[in-house]
Chain A
Amino acid sequence: MLHSSALPSLGWLQTLSDYAPWQEECRVYISREVGRTTNEISVVKSADGRSRESSRVRSILKKIDRRVHLIYCSDLLAKVACTTLGISLFFQINGILFPVESPPLRVLIVGSMLFYICFAIKPIFEKNRLNRTAGLTDELADLSDEIKTAYWFVRNPMESAWIDLQLRRAAKSLDKLKLEELFPFKISRWFGGVFILGGLGTGLSLIPNETPLFLREMDPETSFSEIENQIADLQSSLEGDVETFLDESDFEGLERLLEDLKGDEILNEELLMELQQAEEILNEEIFGMDALTQELVQLSQEFSESQKLSDFANSLGEMDLTSAAQKLREMSENLANMDPSVLNELEQELQSQEFSESFSAEELLDALDEAGTALAQDQISKAEGSLTEAAEALDAMAQNQSLDEALNEASMSMQALSQEISQRANNSSMTPDGQMESGAAGSASDEVTKSSGGDPGDGSGPAGNSTGTPSEVAELELGEATTLEVQLSLEIIDEQFMEEYPDPQNLFQGASQKQLSDLQFYEIGGLTEYSNASALDVETVFWQYSDLVKNYFLGIRPLRKNDNKN
């Protein structure tokens, strides 16, 4: 037999015969005309027939594959739409009930579309797609692997009359298939889910949800956005001056606390405890600016009657320490140009003041005193220096004042935040009818309120001075402590064992029977040979003992390669 590839000149024949209705006659006639032998003609016919059947099988399989892919895409679309709507609905319900921020709808839709496109086009790039389609067709049409086999021979052509027959039969079977019945386009059940979920979503969108439902019921004023704002305030207040002032470890602790607040990874109780600890750290660092303020106000009152120092006194009285320092500097610069009469006046004014020794602004007072003394001794340059020193002391005070304010602000932010959180904990522990749960929940809120040190905005004293200790905060834990009851089971001691043991008291104090009964195991596998199965011959071993014999031989056999796997 000649292979079809050996007859390249007959390629045009095939093309011609494909279009001619009288193809057989035409092919035979032309073959005769060109002087082919009968054998060659049969080869041509066979090769032609094979190629025609192959292309038929392939084209029908492609058609089926397109249909299957469309059905798959439709089903996938329904599934993806259903899942997307489900997720969207979940977030929608969550948004109504709880203060959870849902992702924007467009993100969800775009994500779902990308997912759908990826999975919809994925089968197109799969290898052996038609092979899989052939398998599916076989299965659905109950063709007993006919199409699968045929498709393999289509891809790997072989010269055999049997294969040709197989291809022809497969092509005929494919022709007979009613694709509409076998692979029907039907609306996926998932579309039902899409409609239901869509309807639910639309219905839910009509419900106003400005405030989450459970928050609306519990406390209309409290919202998580407030807490977030307070966290932001606290962060901004901790930045800047405070950073430069605090110890490195304290500042790191505060930064960690901020991270925890942002991450919301810790429980309310732990959060409260941490906030109060942080508040203590800040309070430790706060200067005694209130006492100093009183002293400076007193100083300004003493200087207020002086003509030359009235501006300075006014600035002190207004607690504008920077301005007061500036006034002193200006005075120091002008000292050399002043009339002696004016200098005398100033000297008297400075020296006439009697400063209390308990004043905490010692540097300032000393400098002013020295300036007065220098003026009395006509030492102008020394007086200038003293006034400059006084101005520098005021500058330092001004800096401390700003730091004190920053620390106060941070402390107050923390107080407000801890109040907010304790309020939230209080609300969440309330029963549906508004009653507080019995136990520590109510006292927790009380504790927090007490420990917050009054209204943070009243300005009386350093805020949060009376903050509770961590041990007090620990009392905020809800409910009673868990208890674990353990009962030891009695050990039954053999009578015989008791007899063997002369002193029962020692027996009870000594090791248990279980410990005493432990036996050392010796590996004897290497000493014995693996027994053969005849040891379990039903004729020789009574069936009741066969398991015993089996376990014995399995126990003493040498380890095999696969023993670990089993």
Chain B
Amino acid sequence: MITKIDNQIALFRDEFDKVRTEIGKVIVGNEEVIDGTLVSLLSKGHVLLEGIPGVGKTKIVSTVADVLQLKFSRIQFTPDLMPGDVVGSDIMHETDTGEKHLSFQKGPIFTNILLADEINRATPKTQSALLEAMQERSVTVGVTTHQLKPPFFVLATQNPVEMEGTYPLPEAQLDRFFYKLRIKYPESEHMHEIMNRTTTSTEPIARTVLDRDQIVEMRETARNVPIAPSIQDYAIRLTLATNPGNAHTHPLTEKYVRFGASPRGTQALVVGSKVNALVNGRVHVACKDIRSYFLPAFRHRILLNFEGEADRVDPDDILETIMNDILEPQK
């Protein structure tokens, strides 16, 4: 007996696959990043993409925007960028009768997909202009609060190597990002494919396959996926293991971590897992869903202590150790 939910799930998978296929026409490899970006989009989250220059961070974001029939804006973050350049500002208007009044000129943030390119090049003040928009989906200018139309999806990029003249994102800002995805350097065979696609007269183009309403519906569908408390408990135990000073703390955390993942991190883990479950055609969350996105959801939420910084510890190493050491339920 096929129910309405079965149809919803089938549709969800179908649409997700379509998007993935279209993006795959332009982007070579990086399946994890593409999946993570889409999962984040469908989980109402934002993504921070990290990678060295030239690996296709901006290309991924622009391709995602192409595939989705959504309004797209791009802000190139620079040290002299002001908050008003992001959110907009009140501008004086003069009518034909000579009356003057202030009207709000919307900034590029009033969009569905916002590419915040090289976000760590802007000053903390400008970076903070995104805080409210990312969490509350609204922008307050003066005394007026403007709602952003759903879906609002921020895709920020940053370069981990070139640190001169940058302003590392504060913890509060980092925590707003659903996932932090790392774009790996392409392998040799992928490099060949990239050359073949981009050095000829015709470049591949991705079709638009998903509109706004479909995305909103998919987001609602994903939230309905049930999760057994034992699986949820696993996610919570993983979160607590990243935080020092509690009964579940991992020894490595105790040594190297000052602050671990927040409850918002657990939310990201669970919601992302629900989307991943649907993508895999399941109507329940499994432990492997939790594990799939444990690193992207938590790597930017781990704040190392002095010893961790001194030993150049990578949060991914800590998280992988925790993931290996914390047992799944009934194992």
Main secondary structure of the interface of B (DSSP, over half): loop
B residues near A532, Cβ cutoff 8 Å:
306
Chain A residues contacting B244 (CB-CB under 8 Å) are 562
Chain A residue at minimal CB-CB distance from B163: A539
User: Is there contact, CB below 8 Å, between A562 and B230?
Assistant: no
- 1/0 per position for B1-23, CB-CB distance to A under 8 A? 10111100000000000000000
- Cβ distance B59 to chain A, nearest Cβ, rounded Å: 29
User: B229 contacts A146, CB within 8 Å?
Assistant: no
Which residues of chain B have C-beta atoms less than 8 A from A161's C-beta? 3-5
A-binding residues in B (CB < 8 A): 1, 3-6, 163-164, 224-231, 244-245, 254-255, 280, 282-288, 304-307, 309-311, 329-331
Q: Once the chains bind, are B228 and A152 in contact (CB under 8 Å)?
A: yes
Closest to B225 in A: A162
Distance, CA A546 to CA B309, complexed state (A): 10
Q: Which of A93-101, A104-112, A163-171, A176-184 sits within the interface?
A: A163-171
State whether A149 and B226 are in contact (beta carbons under 8 Å apart), knowing that A532-B306, A550-B310 are contacts in the complex: yes
In the complex, which range does the number of interface residues on chain A fall in? 35 or more
Does A530 lie at the interface of the complex (its beta carbon under 8 Å from any beta carbon of B)? yes
CB atoms of A152 and B230 under 8 A apart: yes
> Do the beta carbons of A546 and B230 come within 8 Å of each other?
no
Closest chain A CB from B269 CB (angstroms): 15
Asked if A153 is at the interface (CB within 8 A of a chain B CB), the reply is yes
Would A530 and B306 be within 8 Å (CB), given that A132-B330, A162-B5 are in contact?
A: yes
Q: Give the shortest distance, in Å, between A164 (CB) and chain B (any CB).
A: 8
Indicate which residue in B3, B164, B224, B330 contacts A148 across the interface (CB closer than 8 Å): B330
Chain B residues with CB under 8 Å of A150's CB are 284
Complex CA distance for A131 and B233, rounded to whole angstroms: 15
Chain B residue contacts of A165, Cβ below 8 A: 3, 5-6, 283
Instruction: Confirm or deny: A160 has a beta carbon within 8 angstroms of a beta carbon on chain B.
Output: yes
Across-interface contacts of A134 in B (CB, < 8 A)? 330
Chain A residues within an 8 Å CB radius of B254:
562, 565-566
Once bound together, how far apart are the Cα atoms of A317 and B227, in whole Å?
A: 109
Decide if A536 is an interface residue (CB 8 Å cutoff).
yes
Smallest beta-carbon distance A529→chain B, Å: 12
* Distance from B325 Cβ to chain A, minimum over Cβ atoms (Å): 17
Check B310–A166 contact: CB distance below 8 A: no
Q: Judge whether B304 and A533 touch: CB under 8 Å.
A: yes
**Which chain B residues border A158 with CB–CB below 8 Å?**
226
In A550-566, the 8 Å CB interface with B consists of 550, 553-554, 557, 562, 565-566
Q: How far is the CA of A505 from the CA of B311 in the complex (A)?
A: 50
Are B231 and A149 neighbours in the complex by a CB distance under 8 Å?
Answer: yes
How would residues 198 to 241 of chain A score, 1 for a CB under 8 Å from any chain B CB and 0 otherwise?
00000000000000000000000000000000000000000000
User: In this assembly, does A307 line the interface, its C-beta being within 8 Å of a C-beta of chain B?
Assistant: no
User: In the complex, which of the residues A146, A547, A550 contacts B286, with contact meaning CB atoms closer than 8 Å?
Assistant: A146
B283 touches A162 (CB 8 A): yes
Q: Which residues of A contact B229 (CB under 8 A)?
A: 152, 156
Q: What's the Cα separation between A311 and B39 when bound, in Å?
A: 125
Report yes or no: A145 in contact with B226, Cβ–Cβ below 8 A: no
Instruction: Judge whether A145 and B310 touch: CB under 8 Å.
Output: no
Q: Which chain B residues lie closer than 8 Å to A169 at the CB level? A: 283
Check B287 against A533 for contact (C-beta < 8 Å).
no
How far apart sit A268 and B1, CA to CA, in the bound complex (Å)? 86
Chain B residue contacts of A536, Cβ below 8 A: 306, 309-310
Q: Which of B244, B284, B305 has the most CB of A within 10 A?
A: B284
Interface centre among B3, B231, B306 (most CB of A within 10 A): B306
Q: Out of B284, B305, B307, B309, name the residue touching A146 (CB < 8 Å).
A: B284
| Distance between Cα atoms of A136 and B329 in the complex (Å) | 11
Cβ contact within 8 Å between A533 and B330 = no
Given contacts A135-B331, A530-B306, contact A149 B288 (CB under 8 A): no
Chain A residue contacts of B5, Cβ below 8 A: 161-162, 165
Are A148 and B228 interface neighbours, CB within 8 A?
yes
Cross-chain contact B309 with A533 (CB below 8 angstroms)? yes
Contacts of B226 in A (CB 8 A): 149, 153, 158, 160, 162-163, 166
Tell me the nearest residue of chain B to A145, going by C-beta. Answer: B286
Q: Does A531 contact B (CB under 8 A)?
A: yes
Interface contact A131-B330, CB-CB below 8 Å = yes
Complex-state Cα separation, A499 to B276, whole angstroms: 77
Could you show 27 A-B contacts with beta carbons less than 8 Å apart?
A132-B330, A134-B330, A135-B330, A139-B331, A144-B280, A144-B286, A145-B231, A145-B287, A146-B282, A148-B330, A149-B226, A149-B285, A149-B286, A150-B284, A153-B226, A161-B4, A162-B226, A165-B3, A166-B284, A539-B163, A549-B310, A550-B307, A550-B311, A554-B307, A554-B310, A557-B306, A566-B254
Please give me the residue from chain A that is nearest to B234 by CB atom.
A145
Asked whether, in the complex, the Cβ of A148 is within 8 Å of the Cβ of B230, the reply is: yes
Which residues of the other chain, A, contact B282 by a CB distance below 8 angstroms? 144, 146
Q: Which residues of B contact A153 (CB under 8 A)?
A: 226, 228
Q: Given A162-B224, A566-B254 in contact, is the A149-B307 Cβ separation under 8 Å? A: no
CB distance from A482 to the nearest CB of B (A): 44
**CA of A162 to CA of B5, assembled, Å:** 7
Instruction: Specify which chain A residues have a CB less than 8 angstroms from the CB of B286 in the assembled complex.
Output: 144-146, 149
What CA separation (Å) do A536 and B6 show in the bound complex? Answer: 55
Residue of A nearest to B287 (CB): A145
Chain A residues closer than 8 Å to B225, beta-carbon distance: 162
- B96, chain A: closest CB distance, angstroms: 58
For the complex, what is the distance from the CA of A433 to the CA of B309, rounded to whole Å? 71
Compute how far the CA of A550 lies from the CA of B306 in the bound complex, rounded to whole angstroms. Answer: 8
User: Which B residues touch A547, using CB under 8 A?
Assistant: 310
Task: Kindly list chain B residues whose C-beta atoms are within 8 Å of the C-beta of A156.
Answer: 229
Alpha-carbon gap, A135 to B329, bound state (A): 8
Tell me, rounded to whole Å, the shortest Cβ–Cβ distance linking A132 to chain B: 6
Whole-angstrom distance between the Cβ of A120 and the nearest chain B Cβ: 22
Q: Contacts A136-B330, A165-B3, A169-B283 given; 8 further ones with Cβ under 8 A? A: A131-B330, A134-B330, A145-B286, A145-B287, A149-B226, A158-B226, A536-B309, A546-B310
Query: In the complex, what distance in Å separates the CA atom of A168 from the CA atom of B230?
Result: 20
CA distance A547 to B312 in the complex (A): 10
Q: How far is the CA of A375 from the CA of B4 in the complex (A)?
A: 141
Nearest-Cβ distance from residue B113 to partner chain A, whole angstroms = 29
CA of A531 to CA of B306 in the docked complex: distance in angstroms? 8
